[in-house]
Amino acid sequence: MINQEKLKDVVIKFAGDSGDGMQLTGAQFTNSTALLGIDLATFPDFPAEIRAPQGTIPGVSGYQLHFSSDAVYTPGDQIDVLVAMNAAALKVNLKGLKKGGIIFANSDGFDTKNLRLSNYAENPLENDSLTNYILYKIDVTTHTREALKDFTDLGIKERDRAKNMFVLGLIYWMYNRTLDNTIAFLQSKFSKKEQILQSNITVLKAGYNFGETTELFTSRYTIDKAIMPKGLYRNIMGNQALALGLVAAAQKSKTKLFLGSYPITPASDILHELSKYENFNINTFQAEDEIAAICSAIGASYGGSIGVTTSSGPGIALKSEAIGLAVMLEIPLVIVDIQRGGPSTGLPTKTEQSDLLQVYYGRNGECPLPVLSCATPADCFEMAFEAIRISTQHMVPVILLSDGYIANGAEPWKFPIASELPDIKIQHKNKLDEGEESFLPYKRNENLVRSWCVPGTPGFEHRIGGLEKQDNTGNVSYDSENHQKMVLLRQAKVDKIEDFIPLQTIDTGTDSGKVLVIGWGSTYGSIKSSVLELLQQNYSISFTHLKYLRPFPKNLGDILKKFDTIIIPEINNGQLIRIIRDKYLVNAIGYHKIMGTPIYKDELVGFFKKYLV
C-alpha cells in the first residue's frame, strides 16, 4: 500500500554525467512544478567542458530545484533528494545531501569502470557507507534497454541516451505529476525524428510505470500551491528575463535595438534569445571579437538605435577602452556583464560577484557611468528595462550586472502586460529649440544631458570623438580649464541620476536596529532567507538589497545611520564594502565567500548571529 504524503518543501538535485541530459531533466521537472503553482528556484551547475571524459568527477553536471508551498528565495542549501546517474555524481553531491535524505542511484552507473573513474575503492551502494540515507538502487540503464527492446532501428547508444526519461518518469510518479507537459515538449523537440520521439515517450512512461508496479517505494508525495500574489505566472531564467527586458524597453521606446555581442559563458544565451526576435525591430550582430561587439553597438547608438553589448568579466576587460569612448561621446549604450569566477579565464561556469570594482573603476581617465545590478532571475527583466531607460534618458552608457547564478537560475515570474509598462520617450534632435541660434552638440539640459542628434538629420552635421570636448560646441579642446570642467560635468551628470531612481527601501525587517545586512546581486535569496529566520528568532536584524550601485539611491546614507552594525556579504574578496566604506565612512563588516558557489542561508545565519548577541 502506497502512502500519500503531503510535503511543504523539497530540494531535489538531478546529477549525472554531462552527457546524461540532467539539465533537460531538471528543466522539465521545473516546468511541471511551476505549472502547478508551486513556488520554486533552480540552480543548474555544470562543468566548463562540454563533454569532460565520461564517468569522471569533472564531467558531473547537476540541476538543483527547490520547490515549496511557502515562498522560495533560494535553490536551497541542502539537498533532500539526490538523483545520481553514476558514481561520480554521487561522489560530487553526497556532501550536499541532508542526513536522512533520499538517493535514487542508477546502479548501472556504478560498474567497475565508473567506480575507478570516480575514485571509489569499493561500490558505495554495496557497502554500508550510505546507511544514513534512504537509498533506492535502480538499474536505470537496464530498464531503459528493456523498454526499448523493440526499437531495433536504434543503436545501443541512442537507446541509452533516453535513460534520463526513465528517471524523470519515475520522479513524476513519486511527486504525483502527469506526463503531459513533457510529452508535449518531446513532440515539439523531436517533431522530425519519429523514432527518437517514440523511444523517449516509451521510456518516460516506463519510468512512471516502474514507480507504479515496483514495491520499492512506500510513499508518494504532493505539495500544495504556494501563496503568491494573484495573477498569471510563467517560469523564467535570468538571461531570458534580461533579454525580454531589453526587448520590452526597446518596444516601449519605439526604437530599434541593436545587440553587438561575442559568445562568452555565461552570457551567450542573451545573444541566442535576442537573435530570435528580428520581428521586434531588433538586429543582432555576432561580432569578430569583444571589442568589435561593443564598437558595433556604439556605431548603432550613434545612428539612433539602442546599442547593447553582452558579455562576462574577461570580455568587459576587453571592452574598457570602448566604454570610455561611449562615456566621452555621451551616447546611450547598455553593457551587460554576466559575472563569472575570475581572474583571467577563471571559473567560466561558476558564479562570482567580482567585477563590481572593474565596472566601477576599471577604465582610463575619470570615467564614471551608472551601474545597475539584478537580484533574481525574474528581476533581470526590470533591471534591463531600467538600464535602457537610464541610458537613453541620460545619454550615458550603463552597465548592468548579473551573474552565472542568476543567469541560469529560474523562478516563477508574474509577467507584466505590455500596456502597463511605462513608455520611454526618445526624441532624436531634428530641430532647433525656441531661442536656439545654432546647433551645439554638447549643450546640456537641466539634467546635464546633451541631445541625441543622429546622422541623416539635415543641417545638423557635426563631428564627435574621443578627444576632449569643448563645452557646448563639442569641438576638440586641449584647454586645461575646459578639461576640468568637462570631467566634473560628466561626473555630475551621472550623480544627477540619483533623482531619477527609486529610493532605497528595507526589504526585510525594521528600518532601524542592531544589524543591517546590505546585499547586491545574486545573494538576495540567501540573505533574505537568513534574515527571515533570524527575525523569527526575534533578533534585531534588517536587510536592504541594492540594485542601483552607481549612483546609490540618495537616502542610502540615512538608512545606514539607523543601525549599529552594517554587514555586507559578497561572493568576492570585498568589493561593494570598499565603495560603501569610502562613500559613507561606515565601518562595515564583510562576509566573503569565493568558492564559485552561492552563499548559503545557514552560513549567513551563523555569521550574522555573531553580531546579534
Residues 32-91 that bind another protein (CB under 8 A): 34-37
Q: Least distance to another protein from the beta carbon of 464, Å?
A: 6
Q: Does 209 bind another protein (CB under 8 A)?
A: no
Q: In the range 390-409, which residues lie near another protein by CB under 8 A?
A: none
One residue of 475, 491, 512, 573 binding another protein per CB under 8 A: 475
One residue of 173, 277, 405, 543 binding another protein per CB under 8 A: 277
One residue of 205, 428, 443, 462 binding another protein per CB under 8 A: 462
Nearer of residues 439 and 548 to another protein, judged by Cβ: 439
Q: Does 230 bind another protein (CB under 8 A)?
A: yes
Give the H/E segment covering residue 109. none
Q: In the range 244-273, which residues lie near another protein by CB under 8 A?
A: 244, 247-248, 251, 256, 258, 260
Q: Does 435 bind another protein (CB under 8 A)?
A: no
Q: Does 295 bind another protein (CB under 8 A)?
A: yes
Nearer of residues 305 and 451 to another protein, judged by Cβ: 305
Instruction: Name the one range near another protein by CB under 8 A: 106-114, 128-136, 151-159, 317-325.
Output: 317-325
Residues binding another protein: what is the number (CB under 8 A)? 75
3-state class (DSSP) for residue 6: strand
Instruction: Name the one range near another protein by CB under 8 A: 29-37, 70-78, 138-146, 547-555.
Output: 29-37
Q: What is the residue-wise DSSP string for 377-416? A: TTHHHHHHHHHHHHHHHHTSEEEEEEEHHHHH-EEEE-PP
Q: Least distance to another protein from the beta carbon of 575, Å?
A: 27
Nearer of residues 216 and 467 to another protein, judged by Cβ: 467
Q: Least distance to another protein from the beta carbon of 374, Å?
A: 17
Are 358 and 317 a contacting pair, CB within 8 Å?
yes
Nearer of residues 291 and 549 to another protein, judged by Cβ: 291
21: left (phi over 0), alpha (psi -120 to 50) or beta: left
Give the H/E segment covering residue 486. helix 480-495
Q: Does 231 bind another protein (CB under 8 A)?
A: yes
Nearer of residues 83 and 331 to another protein, judged by Cβ: 331
Nearer of residues 122 and 420 to another protein, judged by Cβ: 420
- 408 contact partners, CB below 8 Å, separation of at least 6: 43, 44, 237, 238, 239, 266, 269
Beta bridge partners of 155: none
User: What nine digits make up the cell of 613?
Assistant: 548577541
One residue of 121, 459, 538, 613 binding another protein per CB under 8 A: 459
Question: Shortest CA distance to 536 belongs to which of 515, 562, 508?
Answer: 508
**Within 10 Å of residue 603's Cβ, how many Cβ atoms?**
15
Q: Does 223 bind another protein (CB under 8 A)?
A: no
Return phi, psi of residue 386, to 5°: -65, -40
Nearer of residues 193 and 234 to another protein, judged by Cβ: 234
Strand order of the β-sheet with 79-84 is: 39-45, 60-68, 9-17, 79-84, 97-106, 134-138
Residue keyed to cell 520581428: 279
Nearer of residues 96 and 307 to another protein, judged by Cβ: 307
Q: In the range 491-510, which residues lie near another protein by CB under 8 A?
A: none
Residue keyed to cell 536592504: 544
One residue of 83, 322, 576, 579 binding another protein per CB under 8 A: 322
Q: Does 465 bind another protein (CB under 8 A)?
A: yes
Nearer of residues 36 and 87 to another protein, judged by Cβ: 36
Distance CA 131, CA 137 (A): 13
One residue of 82, 223, 297, 395 binding another protein per CB under 8 A: 297
Q: What is the residue-wise DSSP string for 578-596? A: HHHHHHH----EEEE--SS
Give the H/E segment covering residue 421. none
Exposure of 155 by Cβ count < 10 A (0-12 exposed, 13-18 middle, 19+ buried)? exposed
Q: In the range 177-196, which residues lie near another protein by CB under 8 A?
A: 181
One residue of 455, 484, 492, 502 binding another protein per CB under 8 A: 455
Q: Least distance to another protein from the beta carbon of 296, Å?
A: 3
Nearer of residues 208 and 262 to another protein, judged by Cβ: 262
Angle at 386 between CA 601 and CA 566, to 5 degrees: 35
